Structure 1
Amino acid sequence: MSDILKVLEQVPGWKAIMGLPKRLKELEDRVAALEGKPAAKAAEACPLCEAPMKVTRVEDDPVFGVMGLKEHTLSCTACPHTETRQVDPKKQR
């Protein structure tokens, strides 16, 4: 048996194959941990400095507000950058 193992150790990729059960177990544990956590909504990143942006104002859209669309103003938490976005509240659920 030891002769077979010595030969197999010289086969390219054998060590990687032998490590697969451990790697598989690690990946299964990570997936299980991720599935157990509630999905957190990622904060929108500022396109200039990549800091989180937050919604600072919500108003009816000036053109499509009659159809229920809103206009969100997002402000960067680190720099003076702001953006305005059209949002359909019905699709955010």
Structure 2
Amino acid sequence: EDKFPRELSGGEQQRVAVARAIAPGTPLVIADEPTANLDSVTGKELMELLYELREREGRTFIFSSHDPMVIERAERVVTLHDGAITKDITQ
């Protein structure tokens, strides 16, 4: 079904943005709250895909997120509070 961008739900818009971001030849992806508008199942599937791309193709992902599912598999977690780094953990 064809739709104009304004007719897409938040989750649909999120998926389109992700598809553009992970297009072949994109070595670095910066994503702000990548799972925010997704249900938990779709969010998990998205993160599995992104982590697979990291492992298979060596892509670099920088996420800003409050979602534990995103944070738990990160290689490095930097915590900010009031604009200052309060933790910097390499896992």
TM-score (norm 1): 0.21
Q: Which of structures 1 and 2 has the bigger CA Rg? A: 1
Q: Which has the higher contact order (CA 8 A, sep 6+)?
A: 2
TM-score (norm 2): 0.22
